[in-house]
Structure 1
Amino acid sequence: MESFSQLTENLVSSRWIRRYHPSEGGRVRLVCLPHAGGSASFYFPMSQALAPASDVLSVQYPGRQDRRDEPGITDMATYADALTRELLPWIDRPLAFFGHSMGAVLAFEVTRRLEREHGVTPLRIFASGRRAPSSHRHETVHLRDDDGVVAEMRELSGTDSRILGDEEILRMVLPAIRSDYTAIENYRATPGDRVSTPITVLTGDADPRTTREEAEAWAQHTTGEFEIHCFAGGHFFLANHQEAIMKLVSEGLTSDARTH
């Protein structure tokens, strides 16, 4: 039978997990979850900035980059169940989550499963660029034609302009984007869906998809500590505040690890 360390080593290049800067001495494993249509490489700068103090696991969803031949997932419960299974070999160290947009909801749902089914309470969820799980809006981007989906991507300014201008690449990524939008737009939660894990919310003051009130509603979803940080900018405010956000995350993880 494989030892735990051998199993972990084998998963370094698993379909779901990317470790751009492996840290065997990091006290915390930070699991980073991309936005709808996003890929693991979105978090390469965060992995670089937080290593070696933290071991950053960047999640690669199916249907994109080296997983582009796999069908996308169109249901958040299926997403959360699959990712929870993938993360179980990594719980030898304390876990924390950083999720942007759809990734924030996925972080919440995986945390619910870890707490409820496996007795694991992560140190913290950093929920970025997303309204609270129970703050529902009727959205139908996933039902638009390809041009309509591209228009949404342009409005949120979260996709590399080179991709939006390259017809061949765009056609390759659109199925994954549509699958993700199907999953997140059909997702439903209630204020009663809670975790005990502390939640730190990061939000943009001009995000067209999340109001301040919707961001603050994350407080209803934890029985632990809650805090919110507002940054200037829209849905992808992270791009203009990388240094401040890296500092916030780094200091938060250090403090959480110290008290764990």
Structure 2
Amino acid sequence: MNVLDLATGSRCFKRFHPTPDHRAHLVCFPHAGGSATTYFPLSRQLTCLEPSLNVLAVQYPGRQDRRNEPLIDDVHALAAQVHRELLPVLDGRPLALFGHSMGAVVAYEVARLLEHDSATVPAVLFASGRRAPSRLRDEWTHLKDDAGLIDDLRTLDGTDAEILADKHLMRTVLPAIRGDYRAIETYRHRSGPEPSCPIAVLAGRDDARTTTDELMDWRHHTTGSHSLTVYPGGHFFLNDHTADIVGLLVEHLRAAGVS
């Protein structure tokens, strides 16, 4: 059975650490194959340091408590659904978006929809571990067989080896992972107005899936300011630097007058 998040009235968002007196929202978008629980550690540390924030983690359809819902294997369609679900949550308080890997692109597309369709400008867009939306690579991992898909996950070093070796579990989660890979690998940036919010880019120094040039090109996707912060590590650098990243988020949010 799908269970509504009682904090938001939506299956699309999870609030792990309620902050009754919050003054702003931070919505976090998972990576390909990821779920809302990815952001439990960040939410815990962030709400302890900055209890004025209401941290919401997006739960994409097709996994965990939404596993019986149809997968969405198109970034634009996924962003449109999250945008629709987010509108009732907005209450006039400031809003910021954080996305890692595929989640960075989904968050970016939601930012565009919020500003240009709903007249809501996010205070900050945090884009983590992903090249700029207009920078394309020829990627077809979603067309590989299950073994090839698991090998790619192993290369990224973001999934526990015991999980990758659990054949029953992998059979359960691979459809969602493949759908997400299809979504991000077939994504194409569409021309149109760019967000006006600042974009703060985070990256791993040894992440083979991004280059400095690709990261710097995020500056073309905002009419506001752009910054880049690089951490030691690979694609999932944020797992090893949660405390530092929480500090960076708070710094940017305070500078934007959000918290």
SS in 1 for 2:228: strand
Which residue, out of 9, 12, 18, partners 2:8? 12
1:244 aligned onto 2:244: yes
Q: Root-mean-square deviation (CA), in Å? A: 1.7
Counterpart of 1:210, as a letter, is T
Report if the CA contact (8 A) 1:191-1:220 is conserved. Answer: no
Which residue, out of 14, 19, 24, partners 1:23? 19
1:14 Cα deviation from its structure 2 partner = 2.3
Q: Aligned ranges for residues 176-195 of structure 1 at < 5 Å?
A: 176-189=176-189, 194-195=194-195
1:49-107 per-position Cα deviation (integer Å, ceiling 9, x unaligned): 12122100001111111112222111111101100001001221111011000000000
Alignment-derived partner of residue 217 in structure 2 = 217
SS in 2 for 1:29: strand
State the 4+ residue runs in structure 1 displaced beyond 6 angstroms.
none
1:192 Cα deviation from its structure 2 partner = 5.9
Structure-2 separation of matches of 1:243 and 1:209: 23
Structure-2 separation of matches of 1:156 and 1:258: 33
Counterpart of 1:41, as a letter, is T
Alignment-derived partner of residue 73 in structure 2 = 74
Q: Aligned ranges for residues 46-125 of structure 1 at < 5 Å?
A: 46-51=42-47, 52-92=51-91, 93-125=93-125
Structure-1 separation of matches of 2:23 and 2:252: 13
1:36-61 per-position Cα deviation (integer Å, ceiling 9, x unaligned): 00000000011111212210000111
Report if the CA contact (8 A) 1:142-1:179 is conserved. Answer: yes
1:4-49 per-position Cα deviation (integer Å, ceiling 9, x unaligned): xxxx985535211100011122222000000000000000011111
Report if the CA contact (8 A) 1:27-1:257 is conserved. Answer: no
1:147 aligned onto 2:147: yes
SS in 1 for 2:99: strand
1:175-209 per-position Cα deviation (integer Å, ceiling 9, x unaligned): 00000011111101157652101100001111111
Report if the CA contact (8 A) 2:11-2:66 is conserved. Answer: yes
Structure-1 separation of matches of 2:90 and 2:68: 29
Identity %: 52
The answer to which of 35-44 and 19-28 deviates more is 19-28
Structure-2 separation of matches of 1:174 and 1:9: 25
1:161 Cα deviation from its structure 2 partner = 2.3
Counterpart of 1:166, as a letter, is D
> More helix per residue: 1 or 2?
1
Alignment-derived partner of residue 5 in structure 1 = none
1:201 aligned onto 2:193: no
The answer to which of 21-30 and 197-206 deviates more is 21-30
Structure-1 separation of matches of 2:26 and 2:15: 10
The answer to which of 192-201 and 95-104 deviates more is 192-201
SS in 1 for 2:256: helix
Calculate the TM-score normalised by the size of structure 1: 0.92
1:32 aligned onto 2:20: no
Q: Aligned ranges for residues 152-163 of structure 1 at < 5 Å?
A: 152-163=152-163
Counterpart of 1:14, as a letter, is S
Report if the CA contact (8 A) 1:33-1:99 is conserved. Answer: yes
Counterpart of 2:227, as a letter, is E
Structure-1 separation of matches of 2:99 and 2:73: 18
* Runs of 5+ unmatched residues, structure 1: 1-7
Calculate the TM-score normalised by the size of structure 2: 0.93
